[in-house]
Structure 1
Amino acid sequence: MNLPVKFIEKYQQLLGEEATAFLTSLQSGKVQKGFRLNPLKPNFKQVRTDLSRPLNYVATGYLGAITGRSLEHQTGYLYSQEPSAMYVAEAAAVQPGEYILDLCAAPGGKSTQLAGKLQGQGLLVANEIDAKRARVLAENLERTGATNVQILNEQPAKLIKKFKGFFDKVLVDAPCSGEGMFRKDPAAITYWSVDYPRECANRQREILKSAWQLLKPGGQLIYSTCTFAPEEDEQIAAWLLAEYPTLKLLPLKKYSGMDNGRPEFADGRAELTRAVRLFPHHFQGEGHFIAKFQDTQPQPGRRLKRAKKRSNQ
């Protein structure tokens, strides 16, 4: 794999002594495969696939390769998913009965995982702006057997009219520069330029402006990318905290090989360490950034309940 010279120079400057191990891990071309079981299926652990390499951070996740042609995949018992991507939906900590929005949902790895966590209760809205990718999303969710899912093909801003302040949790796995896809899809390298992360960050901010309006007061926003670029990771997290003062960054549990977010990549804000970075030279995966935000506004329902109680006294 031939990494762009400007990419190499950028991460040599950002990572210092750590850069050699990071760049070597990308250039190795060794892709880490993984898959998940679907808890919505009966006896979902009784599959013929090798389950000898479980992941400690995802109860239904395993290391290993599966084929999309297998009966277990076609019937929705298994879903092939890169290991670091699995931690995004896990970090969301979805509970049955919640109203969840996966705003940039295709091809459906995170949506299928969220559906499994809801256990048929509450609602999952899975949205994808690209019509072709939305069809793939629908096919993948159909195989799960979930009955409480609504699939949409809309621009995020258009959802506000119907869903403003509606969701308990909004997940934005944002379109990004895809640096974490270089090993898995070397063609992603051809799209990269020194300015590309900045262009992606501009688009991510627009998506997040819509996500904020779709989140109910007191809800949680989960933001993730499959890139290493600070412009799209810590700098977006810092922008969210500055743009929306009622948001606070929640600490995410770090398992072996998971790194803290790096304040020095943004505005130096100490709480950025609460985010998670997954680097391929530390972690068995291709790479991800995950940040989880809690809105601290009072929830209207709770205010109304207290007001009603006082009025009856």
Structure 2
Amino acid sequence: MGRRLKYCSIAFLVQVGVWAVGAFASESAWRRQSSGTMTRLHAVYFLDERRGFVAGGNGVVLATEDGGATWRAMRRPNDDAIRDLLFIGERIGWMLVERNPYAQREGEPRSYFWRTEDGGKTWFHLNPVGIEAVTLTRLVFADEAHGWTFGEAGAIYATRDGGRSWVRQFAPTRHLLLAGAGYDSQRAWIVGANSTALYTTDGGDTWQLGFVPETGVRLNGVSFLDERHGWAVGSGGRIFVTVNGGKVWRRQNSNTNADLFDVKFLSLREGWAVGANGTVLHTTDGGETWLVVPSGTTYQLERLCFAADRRGWAVGFGGTILTYR
């Protein structure tokens, strides 16, 4: 990925008219798409404005080639929950899977991967070599070789060979880790429970705790535009911003108390966040002002993705897929 972060694929500035501080947006450009499932969806990724995937509980994976106008179910080998989904370029993709504990055999890892090398047409199973019996929540790659996966009890694992092997890295926390962002092979960020905000500038050889001005916040999502500017969202409508690479975070007023689960910034000014009760937030001034945008749903929204033609998608409970244009 080099020195440019992705927001699922190439993100462009999304232009939406806004009214006054603290007000609701005048109308919503978010529309629901028919997923054909009621399964909770945990992840969404679009390669471009037409080709995309969503995934979630019970092994559900849906694919589209028309921007989500129609979704087709892909063959699933089991009912294990898919926790994360990402692509590195056009062909190489990953899914992080949590094994069904009732079907888990002795000695099997709690989490494992599916990988594609043909743009998602076919996927093959990969056991995570070097990863202990921990439950993983997310997967982050900065480029084809360098990535991190993390989860319960402060566990962080790094790969430098494209996921063939993983090495545990020391984290100065035992809290659950929930989201991350990778900028390049050296710089990455991970956030989690109890206001945990970690950053590394040496590929994870050392992880340091950033300062968050509140304790007890469950940080569920994080987005970085460059090596300095980032945003994190979490419980109780909390949004924090950093301008020094995650060393110090400052709270922003979100105009909501709803739990927030994901955030994506498309420029230093333009950003979106989603959360509980169908909450969608939008800013055009770097987060100094957040507006509540009607979403047309009360289902919890968990993940966001933006593609190259000003298109966006959000997924969550009840098989919900929303699209923005």
Pair in the same fold by TM > 0.5: no
The TM-score normalised by the length of structure 2 is 0.30
> Higher Cα Rg: structure 1 or 2?
1
Whichever structure has more strand as a proportion of its residues is 2
More helix by share: 1
TM-score by length of structure 1 reads 0.31
